[in-house]
Amino acid sequence: MRFGIPLITFDGFCLLLRHKTYSLLSATSHIGRLTGLQVNSVGLPVLRSIRHHLKPTTAALQYFGTEARRHVLDLSEIQVVTLLRDREQLLHLDIQPGYVILRHAGHILGCGLYTPGRLRSQLPRHPAVSF
Amino acid sequence: MSTCTTVFASYAAFIPDFPAFCAALQTPRSCCLRVNTLRTTPEVVRALLVSQGYSVTPSPIADELLLVPNLMHPGRLREAILGYYHPQAFTSALVSRIVAPQPGELVCDLCAAPGSKTSHMAQLMDNQGVIVANEPVHPRLAMLEYNLKHLGISNVVTTRYSGQNFPLRCKFMRVLVDAPCSGEGNYRCDMQGRVQHVRHATSAPDDLPRLQKQLLIRGFDILAPGGSLIYATCTYNPAENEAVVQGLLEQRPATLQPITLPVPHSPGLLQWKEYTYDARMQHCWRLYPHQTDSVGFFVASIRA
């Protein structure tokens, strides 16, 4: 709901909860044939349960983020470099605090967390990436 | 005599144009990128790379493969963290093309880590159907799951069985056995002239053919009727290739089928040292670095 991604985007997926992670598995008629297997992981992890809220994964936002209509934050190259290096930066935005989709030059980078006056990176650490 | 010549001297009898083979091993391999078509298009990645000064050549056999000879560190570009591509050897990517999984099918990758071929197959299946990706070694399983997540793969279930003991109750339309091997195909000099020869095997080399035979037989046994099984290694050693396939042909009603892709290759061996192999072994592919400018590979396409 936060990102305004149309529900139809998720047609064709099964939502599964395993431990504290929600995953989307492509819907398939083969699922019954797999029930005897001891599985380690299933599909694409999209949400993790953290205390009393759910955190979207960067992988999910990179996959579905192009469909988002709200809380998408366009960053300049300098802002991206700063965020990757310092993991946070001061920023005042007129949006509800919470998770945001980080986008640069039209490309979805992943997940950030906005609290009043501050943007925190939720992106996986990539020490040697050049922008 | 160069190091390469010494290391592979025992294979000189069957590697075609052995001096050219040794010369190829002395030069760095061209970078090959597999575009993640679940996220973007080859045209977008090509344009992004060209804008950064890289020379990009499309592969003649698959739209999603781009050859970028002057890219040294593909994992360090922005496009890598976006999940737009996955660095993968050209011959490694060929294996998934030979498996040729179709959207909606049930597929098993019996030795899946680190997930290059699994994710490529998922891409070829347009994230439809299911791939069971099996990997018994925990750190390698974690690597597999990271790569699947990073590339946005939603049709894979991972399991952690010993491949040779994978449950028989589930049958698959296609099975890939990309077996642990001695890794001779990775033998290559890098830009600094240092030899890169990675042994991926967790078992002692002498045990590998036995493990490979067990894996291949289990791969055959979990095939649905009429299904297809691909056996691949990145080594030249006939004891890990033709001899393993020969073992399957002797123990199961399997047949070898021709591989039809327009890629330079050599046929499987019919004889090595004192061993004679089934005439159908000619349908197997031996891929050498001087023929493909990539990693050495062996591929067999088997039908139940």
The answer on pLDDT for A104 being more than 70 is yes
Weakest mean pLDDT among A86-95, B180-189, B228-237, B241-250: B180-189
Q: Tell me the three state secondary structure of residue B282.
A: helix
Q: What is the pLDDT of residues B245-273, one digit of tens each?
A: 999 999 999 999 999 999 999 999 999 99
Cβ contact B106–A30 (<8 Å): yes
pLDDT in tens, A43-66: 999 999 998 899 999 999 999 999
Residue A126 lies in a domain: no
- CATH number assigned to the domain comprising residue A78: 3.10.450.720
Q: Which residues contact A95 (CB under 8 A, 6 or more apart)?
A: A71, A114
Determine contact: A123 vs chain B, CB below 8 A: yes
Domain span at residue A83 reads 7-121
Report yes or no on A64 lying in a domain.
yes
R_g (Cα) of chain B, nearest Å:
19
Contact B73 A40 (CB under 8 A): no
Topology match between the domains B3-28+89-303 and B30-88: no
Select the more confidently predicted residue: B293 or A128: B293
Cβ–Cβ contacts within 10 Å for residue B193, how many?
9
B160 in A contact zone (CB under 8 Å): yes
Sign of CA dihedral A87, A88, A89, A92: positive
User: Under an 8 A CB cutoff, do A26 and B82 touch?
Assistant: no
Please name the amino acid found at residue B6: T
pLDDT value of position B81: 86
What's the confidence (pLDDT) of residue B107? 98
Model pLDDT, residue B106: 97
Domain spans, chain B? 3-28+89-303, 30-88
User: Which residues in A lie closer than 8 A to residue B170 (C-beta atoms)?
Assistant: 33-34, 36-37
Q: Give the rounded percent of residues in chain A with a pLDDT score beyond 70.
A: 95
Please indicate if any CB of chain A lies within 8 Å of the CB of B83. Answer: yes
Residue B155 amino acid letter = N
**CATH code for B30-88?**
3.30.70.1170
Q: Hey, which residues 110-129 in chain B have their CB within 8 Å of chain A?
A: 127-129
Tokens describing residue B207: 């045990």
Residue B278 burial class via C-beta count within 10 angstroms: exposed 0-12, middle 13-18, buried 19 and up: middle
pLDDT at B74: 92
Domain tally for chain A? 1
pLDDT tens digits, B22-54: 999 988 888 999 999 999 999 999 999 999 999
Q: Quick one: closest CA in B to A29, which residue? A: B129
Query: Does B60 reach chain A within 8 Å, measured CB to CB?
Result: no
Residues of chain B with pLDDT > 90, as a percent, come to 85
Encoded tokens for B258: 């021709």
First CA to last CA distance, chain B: 45
Give phi and psi for B52, each to the nearest 5.
Answer: -100, 10
Mean of per-residue pLDDT scores for chain A? 92
CATH topology of domain B3-28+89-303: Rossmann fold (3.40.50)
Domain presence at residue A128: no
Best of A19, A62, A85 to mutate (most B CBs within 10 Å, chain B): A62
Q: Do the bridges between strand A118-121 and strand A39-42 make them parallel or antiparallel, or are there none, so unpaired?
A: unpaired
With a pLDDT cut of 70, the percent of chain B lying above it is 93
In our burial notation (b when 16+ CB lie closer than 10 A, e otherwise), range B202-235 reads eeeeeebbebbbbbbbbbbebbeeebbbbbbbbb
For residue B197, the model assigns a pLDDT of: 58
Read off the amino acid at residue B64.
E
B234 is catalytic: yes
* Predicted pLDDT of residue B201: 42
Determine, yes or no, domain membership for A130.
no
Could you tell me which residue, B129 or A131, shows the higher pLDDT?
Answer: B129
Q: In this complex, how many residue pairs, one in chain A and one in chain B, have their CB atoms less than 8 Å apart?
A: 97
Q: What is the pLDDT of residue B192?
A: 58
Chain A residues touching residue B152 (CB < 8 angstroms): 44, 59, 62-63
Cα B123 from Cα A63, distance rounded (Å)? 13
| H or E segment to which residue B297 belongs | strand B297-303
- Cβ(B129)–Cβ(B101) under 8 Å? yes
B227 to chain A, any CB pair closer than 8 A? The answer is no
Long-range pairs, A108-116, Cβ under 8 A, ≥24: A108/A61, A108/A62, A108/A65, A108/A66, A108/B82, A109/A58, A109/A62, A109/A75, A109/A80, A109/B81, A109/B82, A110/A58, A110/A59, A110/A61, A110/A62, A111/A55, A111/A56, A111/A57, A111/A58, A111/A61, A112/A73, A112/A83, A114/A73, A116/A92
At residue A65's C-alpha, the angle toward residues B43 and B65, to 5°, is 25
C-alpha–C-alpha distance, residues B166 and B175, integer Å = 12
For residue B106, the chain A residues in CB contact (below 8 A) are 28, 30, 33
Q: Cα distance from B16 to chain A (closest Cα, Å)?
A: 41
pTM given for the model: 0.94
Distance CA B284, CA B101 (A): 19
Facing B150 at nearest CB: one of A26, A41, A59: A59
- Asked which of A49-63, B171-185, B192-206 is least confident by mean pLDDT, the reply is B192-206
Contact assignment for A59 to B81 by CB distance below 8 Å? no
- B chain contacts of residue A108, beta-carbon cutoff 8 Å: 82
